[in-house]
Amino acid sequence: MQHAHRDAIVIGAGISGLVCAYRLKRLGLDVSLIEKSSRVGGVIQSERVDGYLIERGPNSSQGGEELLDLVNELEINDELVEGDPKAPAYVYFAGKLHPVPSGPVAFLKSRLLSFSGKLRILKEPFVPVRRDTSEESVASFARRRIGHEAAERLVAPFVSGIYAGDAEQLSVQAAFPRLANLEIGSGGLFRGMFNKAREARRARKNASAVLDKAAPTRRRLCSFRSGMAFLPKTLASRLGEDLLTDCDGLQIARSNSKAFLVEFERSGKHHSFHCNHLIVATPAGVASKLLASISDELSGELAEINYPPLAILSLAYDEAAIDTRLDGFGFLVPPGEHLNILGCVWNSSLFEGRAPAGKCLVTVFVGGARNPELARLADADLVATAHLELRKALGITSDPHAVAITRYERSIPQYNLGHAKRVSRIECLLEGTPGLSLIGNYLHGVSTGDCIKEADRMAELTSKALVSRR
């Protein structure tokens, strides 16, 4: 049987796979991107429903270097929209919304923490360094370094906002390695941040001539005029015929010690590709099944990564029916408040064009690692539950219009205790399987920026490896 040849094949057209395949193509490699679905973007889905622009996955992305560089390269800057950098985020505590302190004065005035809670944070530089080398939960790390109040009211809700996770279970070494490294490398969070700020000042001084000409790095919430899905759709268009969607019955095998055979059905025809490098960019569970024929051990490690169920509700209200001024990002809920929702994003306040005039669009998250069963409630029960709690938090006086409900039985990968060691084992197994790579949000960060950064890195490594074999 004749097999078409490719330098590299990427499986999975989520943001990781799309960026990696696009970068490989730009590097001059013959690459194909294979996707089971008829669409691209994975969980990044934007849709117009009843005049509202809803997001079924990420609502925005931090405007970090990786994203902005990609936007510049794709020449889609005109489509980029940015949220107000001063827009506050809130935490719902003791029946009220409290803005997250954004500076020393706001910190001192905040009622989110008691006087003793604030004092405990200020004692952080004097907390001894933990000598145990085992992984520690985010909650334990936060309680130890900055106290119980800050751990419960600041850290835990933001863990839910990022991972839909449980701070008592997430590993700080895996989920927030920079925090763990600040303690190890500098003896504490404040000392570490002070040292980094001092190093940054020195770097600016030493490179002032260059930096004077460079635009400052922006770190603010970004999206696109037509929603987050504009980015994966743009990448797909640049790949052209090298992107193959609607691929069924995908099977992977070793064709020899240095190459792989990828077979699938598409449009009623059997396709067979021989490639020198294979990059699997699917969720961990899918990768586990695909790679079972390659490595039982690798497949087993991937299967152990947990993804909790999550329900995402897009709800609309009349502006006049909301007593609270929606002037920020939204709010998150600490576990101790015992609410059913994890948090709420104020979409129409963040970006223009998300809702018709006179209407507000919000996104509510239910389930996750803290309350997985709630994500499986019937639609009517989900809406009633979310509305009841939004009414308390925002002072809403009318019923919602349920624009859309999106359910993920497997949502965001959980970097739970033991994850850092699992990733190390996975990487060791990959070293023993030449020509095979994995990328995805279950390895080195769950954000869009993390995925772009890792996909860029993997494309560079793949290109160098293939060139060295020639």
Decide if pLDDT at 323 tops 80.
yes
CATH architecture of 4-42+229-306+415-469: 3-Layer(bba) Sandwich (3.50)
pLDDT level of residue 200 (50, 70, 90 thresholds): low
DSSP label at 170? B
Q: Is residue 361 within 8 Å of 403, Cβ to Cβ? A: yes
Residues 361 and 366: their CA atoms lie apart, in Å, by 17
How many CB atoms are located within 10 Å of the residue 36 CB?
Answer: 16
pLDDT in the model for residue 104: 84
Q: For residue 239, what are the CA distances in angstroms to 25, 34, 142, 145, 250? A: 8, 11, 44, 47, 20
- pLDDT tens for 393-406 read 999 999 999 999 99
Decide if pLDDT at 428 tops 90.
yes
pLDDT in the model for residue 210: 36
Decide if pLDDT at 451 tops 80.
yes
- pLDDT tens for 258-275 read 799 999 999 999 999 999
CATH 3.90.660.20 maps onto the chain at 46-86+307-408
Decide if pLDDT at 32 tops 90.
yes
Residues 67 and 169: their CA atoms lie apart, in Å, by 30
pLDDT level of residue 220 (50, 70, 90 thresholds): confident
Structure tokens at 78: 């005109």
Decide if pLDDT at 217 tops 70.
no
Task: Compute the mean pLDDT over every residue in the chain, rounded to the nearest whole number.
Answer: 92
- pLDDT tens for 351-394 read 999 999 999 999 999 999 999 999 999 999 999 999 999 999 99
DSSP label at 276? E
CATH 1.10.3110.10 maps onto the chain at 104-210
pLDDT level of residue 209 (50, 70, 90 thresholds): very low
Q: Is residue 319 within 8 Å of 358, Cβ to Cβ? A: yes
pLDDT in the model for residue 453: 96
CATH 3.50.50.60 maps onto the chain at 4-42+229-306+415-469
Residues 372 and 205: their CA atoms lie apart, in Å, by 50
More reliable by pLDDT, 313 or 105: 313
How many CB atoms are located within 10 Å of the residue 7 CB?
Answer: 20
Decide if pLDDT at 194 tops 80.
no
15-26 helix and 230-239 helix, angle to the nearest 10 degrees: 40
This prediction's pTM: 0.92
Residues 234 and 73: their CA atoms lie apart, in Å, by 11
Q: Is 446 left (phi over 0), alpha (psi -120 to 50) or beta?
A: alpha
pLDDT in the model for residue 202: 58
- pLDDT tens for 75-114 read 999 999 998 888 899 999 999 999 999 888 888 899 999 9
Domain 104-210 classified CATH 1.10.443.10?
Answer: no
Helix ranges restricted to H, 176-281: 177-186, 189-206, 208-211, 230-239
Decide if pLDDT at 211 tops 80.
no
- pLDDT tens for 162-180 read 999 999 999 999 999 999 9
Q: Is residue 229 within 8 Å of 14, Cβ to Cβ? A: no
| Single-letter amino acid, residue 152 | E
Kindly state the percentage of the chain with pLDDT values over 70: 94
Kindly state the percentage of the chain with pLDDT values over 90: 84
Decide if pLDDT at 216 tops 50.
no
β-sheet bridge partners, residue 62: 221
pLDDT in the model for residue 188: 84
Decide if pLDDT at 207 tops 50.
no
- Superfamily per CATH, domain 46-86+307-408: Protoporphyrinogen oxidase, mitochondrial; domain 2 (3.90.660.20)
pLDDT level of residue 150 (50, 70, 90 thresholds): very high
pLDDT level of residue 467 (50, 70, 90 thresholds): confident
